[in-house]
Amino acid sequence: MVSTAVIIIIAVCGVVGVFLFAFVAVRSLKRLATTSNPLPPVQPLAHHREHLVSTLPRSQTWYMTAQQLPVPQPLSSISTKSSSTTSLLTSKPSLIEASPASTSSPLRYENSLTPPSPSFHTAQPDSSTSSLGSSDPGHAPIPEDGPPPSGLPRTWSSAGTGNSARRKRPLSMSSSRSTVYSKASRNTLRGTPHGPHSRIEIILPTPLAGRQEADIEAVEVADRWTDNPSSLHLIAMAHHSPAPPTLFSFQDTDSLKDALAQFIVKAQREAIDKKGRFTIAISGGSLPKMLSGLIGLPTIRWSQWQVFYVDERVVPLDHPDSNHRACVEHLFSKVPIPSENIHTIDTNLLDDLEELADSYEKQLIQEFAQKDAARFPVFDLILLGMGPDGHTASLFPGHELLQEEDRWVAYIESSPKPPPKRITLTLPVINHAARAAFVASGKEKVDVLKTVLDEPEAGLPASKIRPAWPGHLYWFVDDSASAKVTYAKTPFKL
């Protein structure tokens, strides 16, 4: 018989043995773990990018990592305007020496004025919410295979139809920096594939992409594309349908002017809060006099406005046909806006339309390409008019300029409406705005407004304004212009 003492001794030894074994096993495992290859560091930005890009339906794209791109250089070849003390109506030297690079602010493409419904043709605006939309731009669903919004980078849009008025540009930039430019588009940078979801394209601003001297600047822009997570917003943008426009109709032009002024003030405040500046493009024709509601408003920070013209007639700045002159008469002569913040055409180039359009494009590049790294400038607000024939800006029905996909500024030599020579922002530029607003009043617009809003398939130029998601289009009209429209009206509230 084994005594109880022996049994106790055996039990104690067994327990101690188990503990010793467990201790040794844990230590060995730990040592093994520390000598194996460490995991790569977590890269939140890469994960964010991977996640976003993986939600996109198409994957035939490529990208370069920030390390593969050349070191960004300061912008040197694009000149800037100097301050001018001359009258608002006299010609300013438009492109003078380079100034120190202005403070660069990263692209923040947010839009708190976006409405809920994603389809222009089928959906009607939801008037139950704020008439200026919600602050969440992410509610529009991603269509699986729908057509891309017009004006998006060429690789996502249908092939161009050719344009005899197209200006000649160098075909591509230097490719000496292990950078490949696709045959399909001189604006596309290709890099080494990085992973199954990392094959994104870098689309350069067209004016930069087309110029050898802008090579370095273009790559700098591309660099920010890869670094800035919000640029992915722009990629995602290509896969959303544009939102349906919001139609505000007012009893008379005075209430229209007041509401328009409030709307502009709100857009200005949001832009300045985010980026410290407000970029606006203004049309001519009847529009400037609709801006009188802005005069004397203490909430406007004129020194932070950067004003461009949606289109300009090729005439001296003090000519009665000049859109700039109309804006000065109705607004700028009555408010404290610095003259250098108003970007006029260079009247030294009135005899050379191509040069004139190029020089205006350079002004845009200077304002936008350094700060907003996108292929097209993203205006905070574009104010548009519409002619009785449905034209807007200097984009006329049936004109080949409606097919333009690359340029920021184009020219027209034979406008159906006098004067014949004009320059104009192109459709892709207008359709990249954060907000665009048409202003139309009077019974002479009644038929065309009905066609544009109720029959967009008729294809009038004004119907082609459909800012890409999450941008948004508003119509500020009076009741006489909207008398025949069946498109849903939204009560105005900020």
Ligand X SMILES: O=C1O[C@H](COP(=O)(O)O)[C@@H](O)[C@H](O)[C@H]1O
Beta strands at 278-282 and 305-309: parallel, antiparallel or unpaired: parallel
Among 21-29, 81-89, 379-387, 402-410, which window interacts with ligand X (CB under 6 A)? 379-387
Least separation in angstroms between residue 355's CB and ligand X is 20
Residue 390 as a binder of ligand X (CB under 6 A): the answer is no
Q: Of the candidates 84, 185, 246, 283, which one interacts with ligand X according to CB under 6 A? A: 283
Least separation in angstroms between residue 460's CB and ligand X is 13
Bond from prior residue into 419 cis (ω within 30 degrees of 0): yes
Residue 284 as a binder of ligand X (CB under 6 A): the answer is yes
Among 137-145, 180-188, 250-258, 391-399, which window interacts with ligand X (CB under 6 A)? 391-399
Tokens in use for 65? 């990592």
The vertex-117 CA angle with 486 and 249, nearest 5°, equals: 35
Residue 310 as a binder of ligand X (CB under 6 A): the answer is yes
Least separation in angstroms between residue 285's CB and ligand X is 2
With CA atoms as reference, report the closest residue to 354 among 394, 318, 407, 397.
407
Nearer to ligand X, 203 or 412 (CB): 412
Least separation in angstroms between residue 427's CB and ligand X is 14
Residue 385 as a binder of ligand X (CB under 6 A): the answer is yes
Site for ligand X in 397-426 (CB under 6 A): 417
Instruction: Count other Cβ atoms within 10 Å, centred on residue 252.
Output: 11
Least separation in angstroms between residue 385's CB and ligand X is 3
Look-up: residue for tokens 């996640």?
51
Tokens in use for 313? 């007639």
Tokens in use for 468? 């890409």
User: In the 8-state DSSP scheme, what is residue 239?
Assistant: T
Q: Of the candidates 244, 377, 387, 471, which one interacts with ligand X according to CB under 6 A? A: 387
Residue 394 as a binder of ligand X (CB under 6 A): the answer is yes
Residue 287 as a binder of ligand X (CB under 6 A): the answer is yes
Nearer to ligand X, 137 or 284 (CB): 284
Say how far apart CA 329 and CA 327 lie, in whole Å. Answer: 5
DSSP for 196-208? TT----EEPPHHH
Tokens in use for 311? 């289109």
With CA atoms as reference, report the closest residue to 138 among 262, 47, 55, 49.
55
Look-up: residue for tokens 């909430």?
299
Nearer to ligand X, 393 or 473 (CB): 393
Nearer to ligand X, 61 or 347 (CB): 347
Residue 112 as a binder of ligand X (CB under 6 A): the answer is no
Expressed in angstroms, the distance from the first to the final Cα of the chain is 96
Site for ligand X in 323-352 (CB under 6 A): 323
Q: For binding to ligand X (CB under 6 A), which residues are involved?
A: 283-287, 310-311, 323, 385-387, 392-394, 417
